A = this chain, B = another copy of it.
Amino acid sequence: MKTYKNPEREIWSQVLRRPTRTYEEIEGLVASMFEEIEKDGDAGVRKYVKAYDGADLSALEVSDKEKKEAPGKLTAELKSSIGLAHENIEKFHRVQRTQRVEVETFPGVRCWQEKRPIEKVGLYIPGGTAPLFSTVLMLAVPAKIAGCKEVVLCTPSDQNGNIDPAILFTAELCGIDRIFKVGGIQAIAAMTFGTESIPAVYKLFGPGNQYVTVAKQMALKYGVAIDLPAGPSELLVLADESADPAFVASDLLSQAEHGADSQVVLVSLSERLELAVQEQIELQLQALPRKDIASKAIENSKSIVMDSYERALELVNAYAPEHLIVCLKDSDSVLSHIANAGSVFVGNYTPESAGDYASGTNHTLPTNGFARNFSGVNLDSFQKAITFQEITKSGLQGIGGAIEQMAEAEGLRAHRNAVTLRLEKMKRDKS
């Protein structure tokens, strides 16, 4: 870790600079695959599944038989762990439901707002070395609570056409009925246009590599909404001497093992803590199976010692971390000053991995500074707010004059007419 002591405000953006990626060279490939899959449907999808995943699939969709066999391939411990996580995630997302909001803004003018589910959503779950069944929970649980009618899941199979049983088990537990063995650009294109087998959706969710990221941006151009702009995962730990150095080190490493480009930042109010954490990192790193990845990420990481809580907080808000651990003597007084963060973990016994799996909060969060202007995935991500209004005759008499004035001043006569006509009718009806 590179260490900085009380860096000046002017160099913060330089100290905290995230690695930038450009995707331009991928865009051409994505565009041509989108065109092909729009035209060829399933045949186009199959071609790329064969090319990229090496699987020659007879059916793109996971069969009932495969779903039924999945639970038998998992340990009872894992199944009950997933069950517990499911319950907690459901509890936290259920309380996010909002009632219809209504107000009579003016006598006879009733305005209200109601949330409605996005009818068709697509969940993308990456394959590869780690089967991310936890992400299935994070996306499918709120989709179901929101009441999305059609929830489709795409995830790549292995060469033999098999999907990890933990993914199948979790999807079943969440009540997802359609799972397709398709990954990468071809999955995103299929859910954008729809094919003979795979339905088109209105919004796409889920993480992915650079190809999936660019494909999701392309989907947006075709009118499909996406959850969040993507970037490498990040953790910032804000700690003083009340923090346990071993715990802090373990949290930093848990982020670092995600990938060599993971962002790990320690902001400490104490040089002693800083040194102790560095020591612990060296110690714990040795035992990790993903040691190579984690040590690369740690090499690129920053350790910043600040001499005041106020400036430390300012730095945190300037960085806008995806995950923020706050381990301070008086953490509570600090929380209301956190302006920009995806998810916040408070105290010594709240590791970031709790939120990744089982506490109940969502782990699909804004990276790359997007915590300044985006929420993480939550129940509202699967809904849209629709406004309604109903105006009585006397209500229109009350506000009609204002509408006429304003429409005329904006040069929109027909807007004015729509009111005038109604007001005149009321006059005629009266006389």
Contact = CB atoms under 8 A, between A and B. Distances in A.
What is the interface of chain A mostly: helix, strand, loop, or mixed?
mixed
B342 A405 contact: no
Given A349-B422, A357-B415, 11 more contacts: A82-B406, A166-B409, A225-B373, A246-B421, A246-B425, A253-B418, A257-B413, A284-B417, A288-B417, A341-B386, A346-B390
Nearest to A149: B339
A17 interface: no
Nearest to A421: B250
Contact of A369 (B81, B223, B369, B409): B223
Interface stretch (A34-42, A268-276, A377-385): A377-385
A183 interface: no
B116 A390 contact: no
Contacts of A396: 349-351, 354
Interface in A368-422: 368-376, 378, 380, 383-393, 395-396, 399, 401-403, 405-407, 409-419, 421-422
Contacts of A116: 338-340
Contact of A413 (B225, B288, B361, B391): B288
Q: List the number of copies, as a whole number.
A: 2
A224 B373 contact: yes
A145 interface: no
16 contacts: A92-B111, A95-B102, A98-B98, A109-B354, A109-B360, A116-B340, A247-B422, A253-B417, A343-B388, A347-B390, A349-B395, A353-B403, A353-B412, A354-B389, A373-B384, A375-B386
Contacts of A344: 386-389
Interface residues of A, number: 129
A403 B346 CA distance: 17
Given A105-B359, A257-B412, A414-B256, A351 B389 contact: no
A380 B373 contact: no
A113 interface: yes
